[in-house]
Amino acid sequence: MFTFNKQTKRVLIADDDPVIRRLVASAVEREGYDVVEAKDGREAYRILQSDADFKAAIFDMMMPHLGGLDIIRFMRTEKRLIRIPVMMITSESDLKLMAESLAAGAVLFLPKPFTSEQLQATVSMLLLSKRNLTTKAA
């Protein structure tokens, strides 16, 4: 169902709020990456089952069907997905959730509400961390 050119720089974004999903997608596109959007956790899970060619992923913590934390845990059990850095976004202000996200494998955590500048800086850090990982692995 999802067939893409392997040379494409793509980021998977999953958020059930279409406004937030579009804001995040715009920030990723400004960094020169293409976006694959999922409207909830279940859709993101289905995409990842058939496609591992992502430079990074950005998930909302709380989504219908599967939350971002569940998706990260799934990704960390799949060898083909483990290399994809993940950023979590949430409106929850619970520090325990942030700790759980990082412990599960997220590399960055952005609490809502955020400014467009905070979003852009965090997305830049996420994509920079991936470039550094790729460079070091080469």
Residue-wise pLDDT tens for the chain (138 aa)?
444 444 459 999 999 999 999 999 999 999 999 999 999 999 999 999 999 999 999 999 999 999 999 999 999 999 999 999 999 998 877 788 888 889 999 999 998 899 999 999 999 999 986 544 443 333
Q: How many CA atoms, within 13 angstroms, populate the side-chain half-sphere of residue 63? A: 29
Q: Which CATH architecture has domain 10-131?
A: 3-Layer(aba) Sandwich (3.40)
Kindly tell me the burial class for residue 59, based on how many C-beta atoms sit within 10 Å of its own C-beta (0-12, 13-18, 19 or more): buried
CA distance 58 to 71: 11
Token duo for residue 64? 């219908």
Q: How many CB atoms lie within 10 A of CB 111?
A: 17
Q: What CA–CA distances, in Å, run from 114 to 68, 107, 123, 128, 138?
A: 18, 18, 12, 20, 35
Please give the pLDDT value at position 91.
84
**Domain residue ranges of the chain, discontinuous segments joined by +:** 10-131
Please give the pLDDT value at position 8.
54
The model's pTM is 0.86
Candidates 59, 52, 111, 107; CA nearest to 85 is: 107
